[in-house]
Structure formats: C-alpha cells, structure tokens
C-alpha cells in the first residue's frame, strides 16, 4: 500500500510518500520538508498569517517534487493523507485543501490525520513497535503522557497545566536573545554552561501525578535574566544550562511515575517500551535523562531519529496508511481543526485545566 502524506500545521511544509508492507514494515520512498524558519526569525516566533501564506505557495510544488523523487504518478498512490489538525488553522488548511483537491481529481480516498498521532506513531517509521506502549509527547504546543493502546486509541495520563516544554524553551530563548527557533538555540547556548550555578525552581518536584508545569520555571528564568545588568557569555551559558536541566529533570521524573503506573496496569508486558516523540525529543540532555529513567525502570527508550522528531510528512503518511489498512477513510467535507485532542474521552472529562495561551490544547 502506497500513501502520500501532506503536513502544514506549524512552520514546516512537508510531503512524503510511504509504502506499507503487509507485515507492517514501512518504507519512506520520498520526503520533502521546507522549513519557514527564515521567514519567522525576524519576529522571534511563528506568525500565523506568514505561515499560512507560505504553506499555500509551496504545497502543490512539493507534491510534484515528492512524486518525482519517488518516481511515481498519482495513479500509483492508494490514498491521500493530510494533517487536519491540531495546529494553526490557516496553515492546516493549506495541506488539507491540497489533499482534498488531489483526492477529488484522482478519485483516491482522503484520510484526515491528527498531527499528534503522527508524532505518537513516528518511531514506527524505523521499526514496528507492539502496543501498548508509554508515550511522552513533547513539542512546541504539547507536553503529554499517554498510553498508546493501538492505532487511533490513546489514553491520556497527564499533560501540562500551563506551557508546553517547547514553548518554555522558545520563550526563554527569545527573552535571552538566542535566536529562533528557540529550542535548538538554547541547547547550543547550554553546551558550555554549568547547570548548577543558577538556582531555578524544580516544577512539581516530588508531587505524584502525571501532569507538568513549566510557566513558573520560565518566569524564574526571565527574572534571573532581567536582573543581570550586562550578561557575560558565562551567564548566558549557565542560565541556558540550568533551564534545560530543570526541564529534563521534570520530564524524566513525571515520566518515571508514568512508567510505574504502566508497569502496574500491564504487569504481563515484558520489556515495556517508552516512546518519546515531538520536536523537544531531539534535545540530547532530555534524551539522556529519559534514557537513565527508562533503564532504571526496566523500560526500553525509543526515540525517532532527529528528522522525524520535528514536524515531517513521513509520520503523517504513516498514520494515513495505518488507518487506511484498517478501512478508515474520511469524507471530502472533513474540516480543518485548530484543536483536536488525541484522547477524546479524557479531554471531555478534563477540559482545559490550565490558562496557558497555547497550554493544554489537546
């Protein structure tokens, strides 16, 4: 089965074609990612209107390039998948509308993909993983712990009460003038830093539960920065290192609680797996902290390679293929959605618990 996937929910325009073998093995035949970072850099953050316009300008050319790279034409494609949310609505519409046009013109089925499910299944681009597994989803808009029970079946254990981890990275980097995108810039700045010189709070430390909070930490980092008259390079490096260390520790601690919970819920599961996905999963300090926590709890940590941690279309095509093989397709009037919880059941029980601007939107 061959599926083309389109992605434009934030600031990467991406198209990919994957082939799914009957045994579930995935081959990525071609993929294109066009980052808009340069367009947003002068503003220190993603500007929705600029993003939407830039996606709309390149989407059909990217489709043509990806088909050419795979040496395929549309009649050889079995289904057309596109992110239908959650994300910046104008951006989401660019890929979804292009996919609808392709579906209408070719008569192939459309599959509307939840972007978060793309991140959730992304390690399966490398190897098939048996369900259930524990999933830490850490991106610019989301920080959640979920149990992935099967394709389309996710149970949320906890999420951020305010800011997402990526948001805390981005906003702190912006305050410190480190550049955009903030996460990788802060990681680079932290390389030469001492994470223990500057005292920053440890969010929710020791408190049981699976939720996260990063707004207080972000504010403390900003206050520390603003208290410096003329920050020396060492101040920059040490503050970045302290911020990164506190985020890594908090993610590892809350995830360790969730691993205990998972082990109690699935006592029969041998060699349980912890998957970490989303843009923040490309941070090496965070991976190291999670790796330690996982081996301490007898879990195997799986993280997709860097290029599939951040936004990409291979993961969207993969989700499309997994749904299509299970017989699910979507009508052409499927709407684009700014919000779309991965776990509809607990989202209903537990509507927005925080006040963060981008906080717990799913």
The distance from CA 119 to its chain's CA centroid, rounded to whole angstroms, is 5
Cα–Cα distance between 362 and 348 in angstroms, integer? 10
Is 144 a binder of Zn ion (CB under 5 A)? no
Shortest gap between Cβ of 10 and Zn ion (angstroms)?
6
Is 282 a binder of ligand KG4 (CB under 6 A)? yes
Shortest gap between Cβ of 113 and Zn ion (angstroms)?
12
Is 140 a binder of ligand KG4 (CB under 6 A)? yes
Contact indicator for 76, 2 with CB cutoff of 8 Å: yes
Cα–Cα distance between 203 and 209 in angstroms, integer? 12
What is the residue whose two structure tokens read 């223990």?
196
Site string for ligand KG4, 225-264 (x = CB under 6 A): ----------------------------------------
Parallel, antiparallel or unpaired: strands 79-85 and 110-114: parallel
Is 279 a binder of ligand KG4 (CB under 6 A)? yes
- Choosing from 32, 114, 139, 282, the residue that interacts with Zn ion (CB under 5 A) is 139
Long-range contact set of residues 231-234: C-beta below 8 Å, sequence gap at least 24:
233/192, 234/193
How many residues contact ligand KG4, by CB under 6 A? 19
How far is residue 222 from each of residues 104, 241, 248, measured CA to CA in Å?
50, 14, 18
Contact indicator for 81, 3 with CB cutoff of 8 Å: yes
Is 311 a binder of Zn ion (CB under 5 A)? yes
- Choosing from 13, 144, 236, 283, the residue that interacts with ligand KG4 (CB under 6 A) is 283
Parallel, antiparallel or unpaired: strands 153-159 and 300-302: unpaired
How far is residue 92 from each of residues 5, 141, 304, 311, measured CA to CA in Å?
13, 14, 23, 13
Is 11 a binder of Zn ion (CB under 5 A)? no
The first and second tokens of residue 176, run together, are 């410190």
Is 139 a binder of ligand KG4 (CB under 6 A)? yes
Q: Which one of Zn ion, ligand KG4, none interacts with residue 141, CB within 5 to 8 A by kind?
A: ligand KG4
Q: Which one of ligand KG4, Zn ion, none interacts with residue 310, CB within 5 to 8 A by kind?
A: ligand KG4
Q: Which is nearer to Zn ion, 40 or 297 (CB)?
A: 40
Residues of the shown chain interacting with ligand KG4 in the complex, contacts defined by CB under 6 A: 10, 139-141, 166, 169-170, 181-184, 187, 278-280, 282-283, 310-311
Residues of the shown chain interacting with Zn ion in the complex, contacts defined by CB under 5 A: 139, 311
């Amino acid at each position: 089965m061959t599926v083309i996937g389109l992605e434009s929910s934030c600031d990467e325009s991406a198209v990919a074609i994957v082939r799914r073998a009957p045994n579930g093995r995935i081959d990525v035949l071609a993929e294109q990612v066009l980052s808009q970072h340069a367009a947003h850099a002068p503003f220190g953050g993603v500007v929705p209107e600029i993003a939407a316009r830039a996606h709309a300008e390149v989407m059909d050319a990217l489709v043509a390039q990806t088909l050419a790279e795979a040496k395929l034409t549309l009649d050889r494609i079995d289904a057309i998948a596109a992110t239908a949310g959650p994300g910046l609505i104008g951006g989401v519409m660019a890929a979804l509308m292009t996919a609808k046009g392709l579906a209408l013109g070719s008569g192939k089925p459309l599959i509307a993909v939840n972007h978060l499910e793309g991140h959730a299944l992304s390690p399966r681009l490398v190897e098939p993983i048996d369900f259930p597994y524990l999933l830490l989803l850490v991106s610019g808009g989301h920080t959640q712990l979920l149990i992935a029970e099967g394709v389309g079946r996710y149970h949320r254990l906890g999420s951020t009460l305010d800011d997402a981890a990526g948001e805390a990275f981005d906003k702190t980097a912006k305050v410190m003038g480190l550049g955009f995108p903030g996460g990788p810039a802060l990681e680079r700045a932290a390389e030469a830093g001492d994470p223990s010189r500057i005292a920053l709070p440890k969010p929710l430390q020791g408190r049981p539960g699976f939720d996260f909070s990063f707004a207080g930490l972000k504010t403390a980092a900003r206050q520390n920065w603003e208290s410096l008259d003329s920050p020396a390079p060492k101040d920059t490096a040490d503050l970045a290192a302290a911020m990164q260390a506190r985020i890594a520790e908090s993610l590892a601690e809350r995830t360790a609680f969730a691993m205990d919970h998972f082990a109690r819920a699935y006592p029969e599961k041998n060699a349980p797996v912890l998957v970490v996905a989303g843009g923040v999963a490309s941070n090496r300090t965070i991976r190291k902290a999670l790796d330690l926590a996982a081996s301490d709890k007898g879990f195997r940590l799986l993280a997709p390679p860097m290029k599939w941690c951040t936004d990409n279309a291979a993961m969207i095509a993969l989700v499309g293929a997994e749904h299509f093989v299970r017989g699910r397709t979507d009508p052409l009037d499927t709407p684009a959605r700014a919000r779309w919880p991965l776990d509809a059941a607990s989202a209903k029980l537990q509507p927005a618990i925080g006040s963060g601007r981008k906080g717990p939107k799913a």
